[in-house]
Structure 1
Amino acid sequence: METFKSRLQELLSAENLTVPAFAIELGYDNPEKIYRLMRDENNKPSFDILQAISNKFVNWNLNWVVTGKGNKHLTPVTNGSSETIIGSNQPEPTPANSLKLSPKLSATPSPTPKNREYTPSNNNSFVNESSLIYGAKAPQIITINEHGIDNIVYVPVKARAGYLLGNGDQEYISDLPTFRMPGLNHSTYRMFETEGVSMAPTLSDRDRVIGQWVENFDNIRENRIHVVVTRSGVLVKRVLNRLKERGKIYLKSDTISHRHDHPIIEIDPEDIQELWYVNMKVSSDLSEPAEIYERVSELELNQQLMMKKLGIETPRLKQKPSNDV
Structure 2
Amino acid sequence: MQRIFFAGNIKFLRDRKKLSQEALAAKLGLTRAKLAAIEAGNTKSPQPEDYLNFSEFFKISIDTLLKIDLSKLGELKMRELESGNDVYIRGGNLRVLAISVDRSNNENVEYVPVKAKAGYMAGYNDPEFIAGLPKYSLPNLPSQGTFRIFPSTGDSMLPVPEGSDIIAQYVPDWTAIKPDTPCIVILKGQQDFVFKLVTMNPDDTILLKSLNPAYKPFPVEASDVMEIWRFYAYTSREFPEAQPEMTTILTAIRNLEEKIGQISK
> TM-score, normalized by length of structure 1?
0.45
- Structure 1, unpaired ranges of 5+: 1-113, 115-130, 297-325
Q: Any conservation in 2 of the 1:241–1:248 contact (CA below 8 Å)?
A: yes
Q: Is residue 172 from structure 1 mapped to residue 172 from structure 2 by the alignment?
A: no
Aligned to 2:40: none
Distance 1:138 1:152, change over 3 A: farther
Q: AA paired with 2:228?
A: L
Aligned to 2:32: none
Q: Which structure features the higher share of helix residues?
A: 2
Q: Classify the secondary structure of the residue corresponding to 2:110.
A: strand
Q: Is residue 238 from structure 1 mapped to residue 197 from structure 2 by the alignment?
A: yes
Q: How does 1:252-263 map to 2 (within 5 A)?
A: 252-256=209-213, 259=214, 262-263=215-216
Moved more, 189-198 or 233-242: 233-242
Q: Distance in 1 between matches of 2:120 and 2:85?
A: 20
Tell me how many residue pairs correspond in the alignment.
160
Q: What is the CA distance between 1:253 and its match in structure 2?
A: 0.6
Aligned to 1:204: 161
Equivalent residue for 1:278, pick from 207, 231, 250: 231
Q: Distance in 2 between matches of 1:137 and 1:265?
A: 31
* RCO higher in structure (CA 8 A, sep ≥6): 2
Q: What is the CA distance between 1:138 and its match in structure 2?
A: 6.2
Moved more, 138-147 or 275-284: 138-147
Q: Distance in 1 between matches of 2:229 and 2:144?
A: 14
CA deviation string 1:25-79 (max 9, x = no partner): xxxxxxxxxxxxxxxxxxxxxxxxxxxxxxxxxxxxxxxxxxxxxxxxxxxxxxx
Distance 1:137 1:177, change over 3 A: farther
Q: AA paired with 2:244?
A: Y
Q: Any conservation in 2 of the 1:138–1:215 contact (CA below 8 Å)?
A: no
Q: What is the CA distance between 1:172 and its match in structure 2?
A: 2.2
Q: Any conservation in 1 of the 2:209–2:216 contact (CA below 8 Å)?
A: yes
CA deviation string 1:114-170 (max 9, x = no partner): 9xxxxxxxxxxxxxxxx8735999664111112222111111222211111221333
Q: AA paired with 2:163?
A: R
Distance 1:249 1:176, change over 3 A: same
Q: AA paired with 2:229?
A: W
Q: What is the CA distance between 1:198 and its match in structure 2?
A: 0.6
Aligned to 2:244: 293
CA deviation string 1:181-239 (max 9, x = no partner): 122232111110000101011x1111011111111112212212101111123211001
Distance 1:265 1:253, change over 3 A: same
Aligned to 2:99: 142
Aligned to 2:218: 265
Q: Distance in 1 between matches of 2:95 and 2:246?
A: 40
Q: Distance in 1 between matches of 2:155 and 2:144?
A: 31
Q: Classify the secondary structure of the residue corresponding to 1:236.
A: strand
Q: Distance in 2 between matches of 1:156 and 1:174?
A: 14
Distance 1:132 1:216, change over 3 A: closer
Q: Distance in 1 between matches of 2:221 and 2:234?
A: 27
Q: Any conservation in 2 of the 1:137–1:275 contact (CA below 8 Å)?
A: no
Q: Any conservation in 2 of the 1:134–1:216 contact (CA below 8 Å)?
A: no
Q: Is residue 187 from structure 1 mapped to residue 126 from structure 2 by the alignment?
A: no
Q: Distance in 1 between matches of 2:95 and 2:234?
A: 22
Give 1 or 2 for the bigger CA radius of gyration: 1
Distance 1:187 1:140, change over 3 A: closer
Q: Any conservation in 1 of the 2:83–2:94 contact (CA below 8 Å)?
A: no
Q: Distance in 2 between matches of 1:204 and 1:134?
A: 37
Q: Classify the secondary structure of the residue corresponding to 1:249.
A: strand
> TM-score, normalized by length of structure 2?
0.54
Identity across aligned pairs (percent)? 27
Aligned to 2:178: 221
Q: Distance in 2 between matches of 1:138 and 1:225?
A: 24
Q: Any conservation in 1 of the 2:158–2:211 contact (CA below 8 Å)?
A: yes
Distance 1:137 1:293, change over 3 A: farther
CA deviation string 1:219-272 (max 9, x = no partner): 212212101111123211001111x2x22110011113xx1xx32121111221
Q: How does 1:84-123 map to 2 (within 5 A)?
A: none
Q: Any conservation in 1 of the 2:206–2:220 contact (CA below 8 Å)?
A: yes
